[in-house]
Structure 1
Amino acid sequence: MAKEATLQVRMDADLKEKAEALYRELGTSFAEAVRIFAKQSVLENGMPFVISANHKNTYGRLSKYADLVRREQEEGAFEKAMVEKYEKAD
């Protein structure tokens, strides 16, 4: 599959360096890890890891970054898009 789109993400420089070092140690690149994340998200039709409110697991560590307003705005967005898609097809 050709790589023909570019994704730019702003993040803390220290975080970027640590992530790049981690993925080098794992034998891949940060960019490849992002591609894997995107591919797995599409395959699973969601986040490719379990999300919960327990602060001892992945979601708990990520929850402090959640934008509650955006989550409310996006609630049901997939379902709404599917309804619109199939209503237009009729």
Structure 2
Amino acid sequence: MAGLVMVLRVRAGLCQHHSLGSTVPSLFSQRVALHPDKPALVDDHSGEVWTFRELAEQSHAVAHWALAQGWEPGDVVALYLESRPWW
């Protein structure tokens, strides 16, 4: 029963975000603004922690790199990456 309640809550939240026109980047930006120094990712092997601010900075760096490659908003690309930080 608890699992069903959780699924319904998540579903309701997704519907609300969809109706507001929210996107993953906009929701992430909101989290960064609310909790810039809160841990966002923790590497389970090294224990290294990245805050929302640090993750946003790295995301922006990757976006600028992609733009420098000539990619434009709306382009479809595939990236083959290891499941680890590269910076």
Task: Compute the TM-score of the two structures, normalised by the length of structure 2.
Answer: 0.36
Relative to its length, the structure with more strand (as a share) is: 2
Task: Compute the TM-score of the two structures, normalised by the length of structure 1.
Answer: 0.35
